[in-house]
């Protein structure tokens, strides 16, 4: 330990230290949230696939009745929100890996975030509309 060859190996450059680059305790957030959403999506996805199988070929009102049940409404909302959050995080990693040009990277990243948000909102509004379905006829 105290020998002549003992060295502290610092895996961080002087420049990186000067510029204040580092995690500041938030470096793993993207990775961590991706895992958490993944874990939550496993049971939610299984539930959704089973529910879809049980409603195959049924008329629209049957689907509305199913989605309007409070438990189903909540689970559907959770599924949709977590799916699009997980999707956005995952696609962002692919974009970071393959889109190198700074300007294209910004454009594609914003498209990813915008599209994920809009798709999630479409789905959420559709679910809420079914939850508060008004039988007009």
Partner 1 sequence: MKDVRDALFVAHASDGKLVRRPMSPHLGVYRLQLSMVLSGLNRISGIVTSLGTLLLVWWLVAAASGPKPFDTVQHVVANPLGMIVLFGWTLALVFHTVGGLRHLAWDAGYGFAKDVFNRTGPIVIAVSVVLTLLIWVVGFALWHHGVPAAGTGS
Tokens, residue 20:
């204040």
- The Cα–Cα gap between 1 and 9 comes to 13
Cβ at position 124, least distance to partner 1 in Å: 9
Residue 91's closest CA among 69, 109, 76, 68?
A: 109
Q: Which is nearer to partner 1, 14 or 23 (CB)?
A: 14
Q: Which is nearer to partner 1, 2 or 11 (CB)?
A: 11
Cβ at position 25, least distance to partner 1 in Å: 19
Cβ at position 56, least distance to partner 1 in Å: 4
The SS3 of residue 130 is: helix
Q: Which is nearer to partner 1, 1 or 11 (CB)?
A: 11
> Interface with partner 1 by CB under 8 A: which residues?
7, 9-11, 13-16, 21, 35, 38-39, 41-42, 45, 49, 53-54, 56-61, 63-64, 67, 80, 83-84, 87, 90-91, 94, 119, 122-123, 125-127, 129-130
Burial class (CB in 10 A: 0-12, 13-18, 19+), 79: buried
- C-alpha triplet 14, 20, 22: angle, nearest 5°: 95
Q: 51 near 86, Cβ under 8 Å?
A: no
Cβ at position 87, least distance to partner 1 in Å: 5
Q: Which is nearer to partner 1, 17 or 107 (CB)?
A: 17
């Amino acid at each position: 330990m105290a020998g002549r060859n003992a060295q502290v190996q610092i895996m961080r450059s002087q420049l990186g230290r000067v510029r204040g680059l580092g995690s500041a305790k938030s470096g793993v957030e993207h990775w961590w949230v991706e895992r958490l959403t993944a874990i939550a999506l496993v049971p939610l996805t299984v539930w959704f696939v089973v529910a879809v199988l049980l409603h195959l070929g049924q008329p629209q009102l049957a689907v509305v009745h199913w989605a309007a049940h409070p438990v189903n409404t909540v689970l559907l909302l959770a599924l949709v929100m977590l799916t699009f959050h997980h999707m956005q995080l995952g696609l962002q990693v692919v974009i970071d890996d393959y889109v190198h040009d700074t300007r294209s990277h910004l454009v594609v990243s914003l498209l990813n975030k915008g599209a994920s948000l809009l798709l999630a909102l479409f789905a959420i509004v559709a679910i809420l509309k079914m939850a508060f379905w008004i039988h007009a006829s």
